[in-house]
Structure 1
Amino acid sequence: MYGVARNSQDVDIDLIQLFRAIWERRKTVLAVTVLAAGVAFAGASSLDRQYKAETRLLIEPRVLAAESAAGGAGLPDELAISSQVQLLQSTDLIKQVARDLKLFDIDEFDGGGSGGILSLIGLGGGDGELAPEERSIKAFRERLTVYQAPGSRVVAIEFSSKDPKLSAEVANKMAEVYLALQSGAKLDTSSDTARWLEPEIANLRDKVREAEKKVADYRASFDLLQTSETSTVATQQLNDISAELTRVRGERASAEARAEHVRTTLAAGGDTESLGEIVAAPVIQRLKEQEATIQSQIADLSTSLLEGHPRLKGLRGQLSGVREQIRAETRRVLASLDNEATVTRLREQQLTAQLNRMKAESARAGESEVELKALEREAAAQRQLLETYLARYREAASRMDPNAAPADARVISRAVEPREAAFPKVVPITIVAALAGFILAAVFVMLAELFSGRALRPLIEAEEEAGDAVEAEPVPQPVAPESAARTGAMARLPVVEEAPSASVIPETETGPVDNEFSLNGVAAAIARGDYDGVPVVAVSPEGDEGSALTVEMARRLAAGGLRVLVMDLTGTGTPTVLATERLDLPGLTDLLTGEAAFSDIIHPDLHSRAHIVPQGTADLHDALRSIERLPMILSALTEAYERVIVECGSVSGEDVGKLLRGRKALVLITMRTPDEARLEDLVGEFARAGFGDVLLLAGPLPDGSDRGDRQAA
């Protein structure tokens, strides 16, 4: 038998079939849901009630007066808060709370006292081997939850117990013991710190005094007296001389420039009245006034006296004398400017020499300052350490008072006795269990459908595209029998809307036996490569007679060397009767219901190399629920066999279309005695269903057929 390959790429999950299967098994799913809810309700109701209470602490440092004067203490970081969470879960704290509340005497904190199954069989283990106190602490830890509230410095203490009052008492007691331990620890730390700092401070005071004395002696011995925090006497003198030298150089340059300007103007015979140094001289200003007065008198007398008049001559003589005095005074101003420039030049030389001497002295003082700075750093370090110790000592001394050493936390919310149990929540547990039961039951049903293959369907194109393709296919015109015979052994029956002008029914009684509608002619047409991978759907309007022709044609194809398979979809099972010995063989219905595999439903023909898929023995109604898998099955069979023939018996074109769900197929109409009108109706019906390729197989069974014998058997 030839193998059968399955094309997984052509398979899709049919969601509608999955939901249909769940709906059909709704009673089972509902029963599982109710059962899960009932079990969860009974189990949750039987559990012991647990009540939970919560106390909240705010972790923050308590700033003392000394700390506040020094700038305050920083807020605790995440690591500090996590450390406090771990401290709240410490064994010592739990033991103290348990002793204060006498939890060791309560059965709830006994831990069971037994070793469980291992103890019963002598293997030890369990809590029975622990001491009573250790069992109580273990039970305490199981009921205690300490955590930091996200994004805050708040720490929550949760405790659960069967007794609501006890849960609140334990949570509050945990906070009280924690605060007491914090205060006691800070008091002990402060006392130890103060005792250690006292001798250290006394020793540091002596060291600071000695270091500062060394600095003072060194400064006096090397004459490094300071005028400010950053400069000494030598440095200050050097700065003053440098500033004075800069000023004198400016004055010298200004005096030389003024003198040169006056000298150049006089040498060129220019007007001295534009020179500021000359105009500003008091003597020259008086002479200029006299000159102006004399010139005014000369101008007045010139209008009434002649040029040789003695008075005019006297006034002109006075004017010449005044001008000579102005020139003499101008020369004195120039000499004064030269003297001023000379004096500033000499002052500059003196300051330069003094500056050089101070630079040499500053260089020598700088070498000494190196050692001085080292002594000062040592003294500053000792002084800073002493101040730090003094601040810590004052802080420790202030905390030695028990009332002045508060813990770094405070209670912001005390636990109250809970009214409702925190566990178990019967209603939510029941709802969740019912939902889980429903989901598991539905998943189990869907998996069963998937594994059986009933929820799988082939991938096909959209129905609209298939319809458009059928409409786009050109409708052939009626063809006369003579033209059909000339086209070859395969005759395509046309889709006609009007009565044909010539008969398309062959003359089987008078015509040749091997025409295009005979067994040999149709077998030759089907054997051609045009129908590779396309199933052949055989329709027998006459019933079993046509089905027998289909089986005989399959045998002809197998005799020609093709791998052929016949699938029996008839109601009477005629192909199965003709090809097999028994009718109870597994077949298509068994495959559709998931009771058989491909290898179990394919059987060999008794009289040829062909194979057959019988109807099967499973319930037909169960198989019809998965009939949409038929195109997928045909796709797998057409990959394994060269020709797959599906014998459907007497069915309509609409039924074949629903069966194949849009898959392309060749329709073979088998009729021993064809009726022209009926044949036309069948061809048109299949064309409207989307099957344009239709062949006719007509004529009697060949001699030697065993159909009658097999049916009799």
Structure 2
Amino acid sequence: MADARSENTVDRPSFLAGLGRRWRWIAAGTLAGLLACAVFLIAVPPRYAGVATALLDPPPGVDSGGGAAPVDGADAGALILSTDIAGAAIARLSLDANPEFRGEAASDAGVVDAFLSRLTIARSQRSRTVAITFVSRDPELAARGANTVAELAMQSVNEARARAARAQQARLAEKIADAEGRAADADAKVEAFRAQSASQPEGGPAAGADMSADLNAKLSGARAAEAAASGKADMLRRLERDGRLADAPASVADDALRRLLDQRAALRAEIAEASKTLLPLHPRMKDLASQLAGLDAAVRDSADRTARADEAEARQAGAEADRLEATLAERAKAAAAPAAAASLQSLEAKAKAAHDDLASYQQMAREARAAAEADGARILARAEPPKAPIFPKAGPTLLAGGSAGLILSALAAAGAALVVRGRKSSLPSAPVEPETLKVAPPPTVAELDSAQAPAPPLRAAPPPGALDAAAGLVETLRRMKAKDNLVVLVAGDRTGQALAIALEAARSFAAERDAVFVDLGETQDWLADILYREAPDEPAVVGLSDLIAGRAGYGAVIQRDLSSSLDVVLPGASGGGGRVEEALTAFAAAYPAVVLHASNWRVAWARAAAAFADLVVIVAPAARVEAAREAAEAALGDACPTFLPFAVRAAARTAEPVG
């Protein structure tokens, strides 16, 4: 039961202590990740991005007046990413001789492809702006590249608009000439007819004809007013439905609506400027968005009021026209109009229609001329040389590398702590048979010195004078061998005083690493009371002699200290007999700290253990501790080169460890 419990249970304090002892692994792994990222940042050339913002759409009212059509997002992207723009930009920037672009491709087509691969555009969903981004290793070149592409695109759009406006002007000029001819011909016919009718006396039919002419003129004016008001209202409704109230011409929008549109344009420009430095969820951006929503609602309300006013005016003009038509009908019924008056009215109506067509064509020509003179495309914000690269970014790269190094090194440290803790379970569970367990003899001091030449030798001189406290002994052992596995033999000089010192040192090591206490030979009776046993009245505890004789396995002989996480191995029923070298080799391989105790350094197991120990501590009364150390060093000096004396004071003789 104790064997199964010790093999299947992970001691959390011991695991955390083992993890804490390996903090240098974690620090080294984190530093390695940071250094790798630093090397990556130094080795990889940085990339800078220059961003220019351009407006490629025509100004408001151009499409409705017969000028150039607006440039949508697809047309803008195709125009900017065309090979013509790319070739012109490459020639203007002299990129043919630039190693950054010429090195990626040997042909001119390859240079164009490399240039286009560095060029991207982004069309705003809520505005008519286009963001042009150009990436280069040189920040100055990145800014100049974006500005050059924006200038070429603006020039191309303006030239296309100018050509379309000139073609529209030519067509309108032909229509104006034709309308002028028709109007002049109609006026001549009216004048000729009036000249023929001048001999008629005043009053009678002539007076009725004049009055009818006045009524027809008023009727034509009323119908024209109705058509104009209805057309304005329809245009406002259409622009409002399409979300293009900003494109409303001055003839349609009243002063109040125009002021609101100007305020909205100014607010959108302010939002575009603020969005360069602020995120959409910033309070300032939210406030500007709220103001824009309010202006949009006010614009819609004003447009709706204007449209309703125009519709009311159209209805009023229509009613007036209906009234005039009724009056004319009544006059026609009351007295038959002369044929001459009817002919004159017809000629005057034709002349007026011809003049209306002429005025309409002339208005369209003026708007087309204004569109040709205005710049439909312009650069809103020129690119500035960027100060920070877009790739690689130092902060995120170092953070990612340091985090990866920290995680990997922490996992490695945790795995090492678990492996060290699990070494006990990897020991053979069957009893040790001398014929089956063949362990190579421990290396000599000369072999250790030759194999570990770069490391400082273990022959560091002990501190002057004899030790007289277990804490001082532990601190001395830590200084002499802080990182590697430690095997120390604490032996008495027939006094029985070494047990408490060895047990206290072992418990100190167990607080910071996995440790085992192995008692060699005769010991004091109270030692068994410190062990954890399933049955408190269990008679005898198997130990090292049972392991060597084959009566028990490692899992059975290794017990747990009640006061700490220390593993304890007692000498057994017949302690002191048999070859102990194989068992000591297994313990030294499985535990980072092995503390061996012998009441008398002269016994056989103590002499054999001295060959495995990094240090032999001789415990004796202060009066003869030096003599005991010299005698032990003379007898065991060939097995272990380092001996430390430990003087037991009179007060320490009566102290017993608390189990």
- Which structure would you say has the larger Rg? 1
Shared topology, TM-score over 0.5? no
**TM-score, normalization by structure 1:** 0.32
